[in-house]
Amino acid sequence: MPDQGSGDEPDKRLLRRGLLAVRSRLTADDVREAATALAARALALPELAAARTVAAYVSVGSEPGTLTLLDALRARGVRVLLPALLPDNDLDWGLYTGEGSLARVRHDGRLSLFEPAGDRLGPDAVTEADVVLLPGLAVDGRGMRLGRGGGSYDRVLARLERAGARPALLVLLYGPEVVEHVPEEAHDRPVQAVVTPEGVRRFPPSP
């Protein structure tokens, strides 16, 4: 799920354009094979093995695929929360109960997203999650994540911090998207690990 919106520092915008151009060249087979490998890697993580509630998202287009992982988590009995974009770019949440529980929603002519079709649980529902899977375009060796620039997940991370919630923060990416450096702003927060089709990389806790 892309962060919606625009507007941040030029270095980030330039990096995003390059990464999105690479993703645009992936075939459907590339995306499908990567999704299978990503699910296998992620499901082996102790954080997900112990999780009772996971906040995730439904991938779109050439994003690293998540549906295989979501269905596997449900099969384990995990409560899976999915986001619904609000007009101010904040996120509400609903339950994932299978592909039939998803609705395709277009927001003001922007990219269509798959969102939970059932009851909304409120923006604070994410504070109940043991693991939060964050969408992204890149992560660097410090665990700093590059999102799409809309700020939706910056709000999520701020909400978690205000609530004193400390879920594991994980990002799913393609291997080449683990980069040397991501431009950092004051509000950015590192993730604990990145999962790629090739493996898992963990990052040291921030000081």
Helix (H, G, I), strand (E, B) or coil at 131: strand
* Residue 110 among known ligand-binding residues: no
* Residue 134 among known ligand-binding residues: no
Cα(34)–Cα(32) distance, rounded to whole angstroms? 5
* Residue 122 among known ligand-binding residues: no
* Residue 15 among known ligand-binding residues: yes
* Residue 145 among known ligand-binding residues: yes
Query: How buried is 189 (Cβ within 10 angstroms: 0-12 exposed, 13-18 middle, 19+ buried)?
Result: middle
* Residue 151 among known ligand-binding residues: yes
Cα(65)–Cα(27) distance, rounded to whole angstroms? 12
* Residue 113 among known ligand-binding residues: no
* Residue 174 among known ligand-binding residues: no
* Residue 150 among known ligand-binding residues: yes
* Residue 153 among known ligand-binding residues: yes
Reference 35, options 3, 11, 59; nearest CA is 59
* Residue 148 among known ligand-binding residues: yes
Beta carbons of 169 and 132 less than 8 angstroms apart: yes
* Residue 112 among known ligand-binding residues: no
Cα(143)–Cα(163) distance, rounded to whole angstroms? 22
Q: How far is CA 187 from CA 29, 133, 144, 153, 157, in A?
A: 36, 18, 11, 11, 9
Tokens in use for 59?
């991938």
Indicate the annotated binding residues for substrate.
Answer: 58, 63
Query: Could you tell me which residues are annotated as the binding site?
Result: 12-16, 58, 63, 145-153
Binding residues for ATP: 12-16, 145-153
